[in-house]
Structure 1
Amino acid sequence: MPKRYSTVRGREFGDGLRAAIADAGFSGRAAAERVGWQEAKVSDLVNGKGGATETELALLLGVCRTGAAESRHLLDLFPDTNIKGWWQQHGTRAPIRNRTFVEHMAVANKLVSWHTHMVPDALQTVAYMREVLRASSSVPDDEMEARVAARLEMQKQLRHGLKCAFLLHESALRLRVGSVDTQAEQARHLLRMATRANITIRVLPADSGAHAGLSGPFTQLSFATYEPLVWVEGENFSLIIEEKAAVQGYETIVSSLVRTSLDADQSKAAITDLLRTTEAAG
């Protein structure tokens, strides 16, 4: 079935506006009546079909008594809802909870993630998370628990309906993060996660040498009704890639990494060996 045209910004705008109307206790019809519109106009606006001006959107948000921050966010998104690709700039550090990623992960049916230098957020234990956050030069101490809570909430989305493939370079597993106990528990957690029917963990051995993923970590999300996207995250930015040719380039990288990585059983054995080495060192 063909995927319908949609953009990340358009979906975030539509979902946000739909939530603003619902939070105000209105149906689409009731919201339309409050601003003197036809119900179809609200429906078109929510579903990315336009038909309203920025002033009219502001009026609707005012009637819904939407908070200032959310209103500003939706008004900023409104002119660009049909544009593919999104470079999100976060100031000095990444947000505690990246709304865009979490909301798209919630509706994805497949996740493929490549990591080179540490265990990805989705697979981290709490102790490992805290060590990673503590080592950051941009995360203040008073945000620590909120960031841990946000990562744990995100991990709940590794549900059975989401097929996940995590490709990890051996260096990500061997990086010393925290104590021996922290490192060992993280390895045990990876082995537990790898037993889930919807999760596959593949390890790329360090002695494989140069590989297709040298440009760095990324995550691809695929959907039942939307085209796939690629997510690249930096210290204080997020890059969302949607153009078909660019996404296909990352799919080629994934295919190459899969060919050169250990299979799932071999990867479990490699993690088990690392766990034994870590425990012996303790």
Structure 2
Amino acid sequence: MTVANRRKDGRAVPSPRTVDVAHQRKREDDRPGVWVAYGKLLRKFRKAAGYSQEALAPLLGYSPEQLASVEQGRRAAKAPLTEAAERVLNAGGVLTTLQEDVDLAKLPPFFRDFVLLEMEAVSRFGYDPLLVPGLLQTEAYARALFEGHVPVLGEEAVEDNVNIRLTRQKILTRGPLVDFSFVIGEAALRQELGGPDTMRGQYRHLMAMGKLRNVAIQVVPIGSGFHAGLTGGFVLVETSEHRQYGYFESQDIGHVVSDAKHVSTFALRYGKLRSQALNVEDSAAFIEQLAGER
């Protein structure tokens, strides 16, 4: 029997084993419920099909350890895993149904409320002064951004964040189409991430996205004097119920704004900002010129 040491105040000092168990329980409590539910279903389908983890894992492109983590709800399933599991295990679409919620649970808590609004949007207008908007980032640009994150992210966290960002971008082209407007500060376009090749690819991607019927991209040049975006970046969303919300974030802390007066101020600033930015055609030419400089 382990006898706990005592502090000067007489209280017991937990033994190392007690601390380890407490940490394990905390990790389990932190698991998103949908990850746990997905894992239980995956394990049920695997056993029903007669596979061990060692036999199934290579068929899904995972190691047995990674598959075990998914089944235990400690690791989020990615879309390719779900697609393979549906095919190999004949899951009947059950795992696919959960995938969107699994992806949503990967998001930082402060961002989830906004993404739920974004998923219901009929229009989304945003101003980004310092970085290319997440919905328009290439994989290489997003990876460079997360690899430079402070505090440092582990490799798995970097991959998860990149995957989440690319998954969110499906909203650009899925039906019914959402009306998008992106106003981007020139500083965001000139801030090099990942090297010249990454930036060249990012510029070309912006030009391609700007050709979509539901996407408008405008640039605010440096040195254009006072403009309505100098107070910082923000997003305006109108939902299918025609309710409008604002959103802004800084230092990994985000705020959804629902107060009608504040949302109205956001809308006024955004309208002014669009009039002060280069028009769509001139913005495309500006980005094309940047691509040629690399």
Matched, 1:158 2:172: yes
* Per-residue deviation, residues 73-128 of structure 1 (Å, max 9, x unmatched): xxxxxxxxxxxxxxxxxxxxx81893222221111000000000110111000100
Aligned to 1:202: 218
Runs of 4+ more than 3 Å apart: none
Matched, 1:148 2:152: no
In the comparison of the two structures, how many residue pairs are matched?
188
Offset of residue 138 of structure 1: 2.7
Distance 2:231 2:256 in 1: 16
Aligned to 1:253: 269
Distance 2:143 2:152 in 1: 11
Distance 1:256 1:212 in 2: 6
Decide which of 280, 284, 293 is 1:268's aligned counterpart: 284
Cα pair distance change 1:125/1:223, threshold 3 Å: same
Offset of residue 176 of structure 1: 1.0
Partner SS for 2:193: coil
Aligned to 2:184: 168
Offset of residue 140 of structure 1: 1.3
Distance 2:110 2:157 in 1: 11
Matches of residues 29-178 of structure 1 in structure 2 within 5 Å?
A: 95=108, 98-141=111-154, 142-159=156-173, 161-178=177-194
TM-score w.r.t. the length of structure 2 is: 0.61
Offset of residue 256 of structure 1: 1.2
Q: Which has the larger radius of gyration?
A: 2
Mapped contact 2:132–2:188 kept (Cα < 8 A) = yes
Mapped contact 1:131–1:178 kept (Cα < 8 A) = yes
Cα pair distance change 1:243/1:204, threshold 3 Å: same
Offset of residue 210 of structure 1: 2.4
Letter in 2 for 1:181: D
Mapped contact 2:123–2:178 kept (Cα < 8 A) = yes
Offset of residue 226 of structure 1: 4.2
Partner SS for 2:125: strand
CA-based RMSD: 2.0
Mapped contact 2:172–2:178 kept (Cα < 8 A) = yes
Offset of residue 235 of structure 1: 2.1
Q: Which has the higher contact order (CA 8 A, sep 6+)?
A: 1
Mapped contact 1:127–1:182 kept (Cα < 8 A) = yes
Letter in 2 for 1:182: T
Bigger drift between 228-237 and 162-171 goes to 228-237
Aligned to 1:63: none
Distance 2:266 2:141 in 1: 28
Mapped contact 2:143–2:162 kept (Cα < 8 A) = yes
Offset of residue 181 of structure 1: 0.3
Letter in 2 for 1:200: A
Mapped contact 2:180–2:214 kept (Cα < 8 A) = yes
Q: Unaligned regions of 5+ residues in structure 2, if any?
A: 1-33, 39-72, 74-106
TM-score w.r.t. the length of structure 1 is: 0.63
Letter in 2 for 1:143: A
Letter in 1 for 2:248: V
Partner SS for 2:213: coil
Letter in 1 for 2:192: R
Q: Unaligned regions of 5+ residues in structure 1, if any?
A: 1-18, 24-66, 68-93
Mapped contact 2:247–2:254 kept (Cα < 8 A) = yes
Mapped contact 1:205–1:262 kept (Cα < 8 A) = yes
Letter in 1 for 2:144: E
Quote the sequence identity (%): 29
Aligned to 2:258: 242
Mapped contact 1:108–1:162 kept (Cα < 8 A) = yes
Distance 2:180 2:112 in 1: 20
* Per-residue deviation, residues 20-41 of structure 1 (Å, max 9, x unmatched): xxx9xxxxxxxxxxxxxxxxxx
Cα pair distance change 1:106/1:125, threshold 3 Å: same
